[in-house]
Amino acid sequence: MIQEISQDVKEFLLSYIKIHQLISLAQSELNNVNAALEAEIAKQQWFSLEFRTARSHKLVQVWKEKWHPSETQGCPWIHFEYTFSWPDCWVQASLDIESVKIVSQDTILMFSSALRSLLSGKQPDLLKASGWILKPQLEGNRMLLLNRQDVVPQNFSAEWLLTTGKRLFNELSEVIPYVDQAIGEMFG
């Protein structure tokens, strides 16, 4: 005799089509918020023509052309990233140093160490701001600097996501000269 499917599981399986539709709708609406954030970032004083952006329903990324190995040989991909994690209910902004096929893990570790030393020595205001953490080693093999904030349900809205993302990107912009300096010192 087979064990019967529980009522909770039955209800979930029978409503999965609706759940899938809601997930698709949520992804579309989050992509719209991230498109608005991408447009706002492009208006910021620190943003210039040498910056590039990418977005999806999960994140917005910003980097300078020379922060990418296609422009600076041997350089890892360095970028700012703003992410909304809906399963965990937090937003996070980070300075990421990512591996690409043409850049070795040793290069990434040397670069992240050099940039960490610059940031530790100069102590930009960002490091004194609430919530910013300079990691002693790359977290998740890519995050050097991060700020994670819980989403408070009563404050959650498209406007909150937009405003929070814009503020965190503006705070991250303080490290642009340090990233440029570290790239110049290491990759010429």
| Residue 30 CB neighbours (<10 A) | 19
The reported pLDDT for the residue numbered 122 is 77
**Mean pLDDT, range 166-188, rounded to an integer:** 94
Q: Average per-residue pLDDT in the chain?
A: 91
Residues contacting 40, CB < 8 A, separation 6+: 162, 165, 166
Q: Of all residues in the chain, what percent carry a pLDDT higher than 90?
A: 69
Distance CA 161, CA 132 (A): 18
Write down the pTM of the prediction: 0.89
Instruction: Measure the CA–CA gap between 119 and 126, rounded to whole angstroms.
Output: 10
